[in-house]
Amino acid sequence: MSNYPESVLKLIEEFGKLPGIGARSAERLALHLLRVPEDSALELANAITELRNRIKHCSICYNLSDTDPCHICSDPGRENSTICVVEEPRDVTAIEKSNSYKGLYHVLLGRYSPLNEMDEKSLTFDSLLKRIGSGGISEVIIATNPNLEGDATATLLQNRLAGTGVTITRIARGVPQGSQIEHVSGAIIGDALRERKEFKTT
């Protein structure tokens, strides 16, 4: 790759920082941009710029949005007494595709993982507690991923919510152990939400 001009090497390096993109894929992407019409390459650059300038986290639920509050939090048709807690914005998208849930959301922006420097303060627990403290919430559905870190996050969250007076439920294990919610079919997510149970630690 050292034969490429510096600007090409820089682009390959930046593509290589993206998740799931190896050195070969990064090289192919960079060379592809040199082959496409200039307008197409500039459209990609403009889309990235617009993404960075317009997309923010909703100040209420922390989902990604170009408005604040987001379209879900501001929708009067949503069931506003229920909050579904998820790890990432992509989990909101997956659940919405299932058409099985019409309540509100709260995005933690990660999961409890001290080894990866994701401790309790790195998550949006405090904002969730403030939402519950303002009243009107009767149920919190914990929809963290069914894996070791997701379960640890759920247990930590259950402990933080103890004493708030809200019903705490956890999505049913229709979502396979070790899977990611974003990769699960809408039908399975729908079943998991419908079969959710009160979340209790032993």
**What pLDDT, on a 0 to 100 scale, did the predictor assign at position 1?**
57
Report how many domains make up the chain.
2
Residue 30 lies in a domain: yes
Q: How far apart are CA 108 and CA 147, in angstroms?
A: 16
Q: Under DSSP, is residue 152 helix (H, G, I), strand (E, B) or coil?
A: helix
Q: What is the pLDDT along the chain (202 residues), one digit of tens a residue?
A: 578 999 999 999 999 999 999 999 999 999 999 999 999 999 999 999 999 999 999 999 999 999 999 999 999 999 999 999 999 999 999 999 989 999 999 999 999 887 777 778 889 999 999 999 999 999 999 999 888 899 899 999 999 999 999 999 998 766 666 778 888 877 678 877 877 878 776 6
Task: Give pLDDT, residue 4.
Answer: 93
Shared domain for 151 and 170, answered yes or no, is yes
Query: Are residues 105 and 25 part of one domain?
Result: no
Instruction: Report the CATH number at residue 107.
Output: 3.40.1360.10
**pLDDT recorded at residue 175:** 67
Task: Report the interhelical angle of 186-194 vs 89-97 (nearest 10°).
Answer: 90
Are 32 and 108 found together in one domain?
Answer: no
> In 38-71, which positions are buried (b, 16+ CB within 10 angstroms) versus exposed (e)?
eeeeeeeeeeeeeeeeeeebbebbbbbbeeeebe
Backbone angles phi, psi at 79, to 5 degrees: -80, 105
Residue 37 structural domain:
6-54
Q: How far is CA 72 from the centre of its chain?
A: 14
Which residues are CB-neighbours of 92 under 8 A, at least 6 positions away?
Answer: 63, 72, 86, 105, 107
Domain identity same for 37 and 87: no
Q: Is residue 1 part of a domain?
A: no
Tokens 């820089």, residue located: 10
